[in-house]
Structure 1
Amino acid sequence: MTTLLKVEQLISEESKNIIFRNLSRILDLRILDIDVFNKTIALVYNNPYVLDKAKKELERVGYSLQPQHSL
């Protein structure tokens, strides 16, 4: 499954690097793109549990999510 997450606090290359570093640790999750201009993160995963884990990790490091859109 592919999902696009909207993250309002994604405003700089530094935030992009923090998000990339923290989400890269999650097994079975592939980061397709982190777009600072559009404030979005495109992810690929096979299990809904993996997406929940990614959302919790983003919130843990201080990034709140807007409603998501499946691709």
Structure 2
Amino acid sequence: MTTLLKVEQLISEDSKNIISRNLSRILDLKILDIDVINKTISLVYNNPFVLDKAKKELGRVGYSLQTQDSL
């Protein structure tokens, strides 16, 4: 499954690097793109539990989600 997450606090390359570093630790999750201009993260995952882990990890490092769209 593919999803697009909107993260309002995604404002710089530093934010992008922090998100990339933390999400890359989650097994079975692939980061397709982190777009600083549109403040979005595109992810691919096989299990909804993996997406929940990604959301929790983003919250843990200080990034709250605004919307979520499945692609």
Q: TM-score range by the shorter chain?
A: over 0.9
User: CA offset at residue 67 of structure 1?
Assistant: 1.5
What CA distance in whole angstroms lies between the structure 1 residues aligned with 2:51 and 2:64?
A: 14
CA RMSD in angstroms, aligned pairs only: 0.3
Name the TM-score, length of structure 2 as normaliser. 0.99
Give, in whole Å, the separation in 1 of the partners of 2:35 and 2:52.
Answer: 20
Instruction: Give the match for residue 14 of structure 2.
Output: 14
Deviation (angstroms), 1:7:
0.1
Please give the alpha-carbon distance, in whole angstroms, between the structure 1 residues aligned to 2:38 and 2:44: 18
Q: Distance in 2 between matches of 1:60 and 1:16?
A: 15
Richer in strand (by share): 2
For these two proteins, the number of residue pairs brought into alignment is 71
- How far apart are the structure 1 equivalents of 2:67 and 2:58? 14
User: Structure 2 CA distance, aligned partners of 1:70 and 1:49?
Assistant: 15
Q: Which runs of 5+ in 2 are unaligned?
A: none
The share of aligned pairs that are identical, in percent, is 87
Q: CA deviation at 1:60?
A: 0.1
Superposed, 1:1-71 pairs within 5 Å as 1-71=1-71
Unmatched 5+ residue regions in structure 1?
none
Once the two structures are superposed, residues 16-67 of structure 1 have per-residue CA deviations (whole angstroms, 9 ceiling, x without a partner) of 0000000000000000000000000000000000000000000000000012
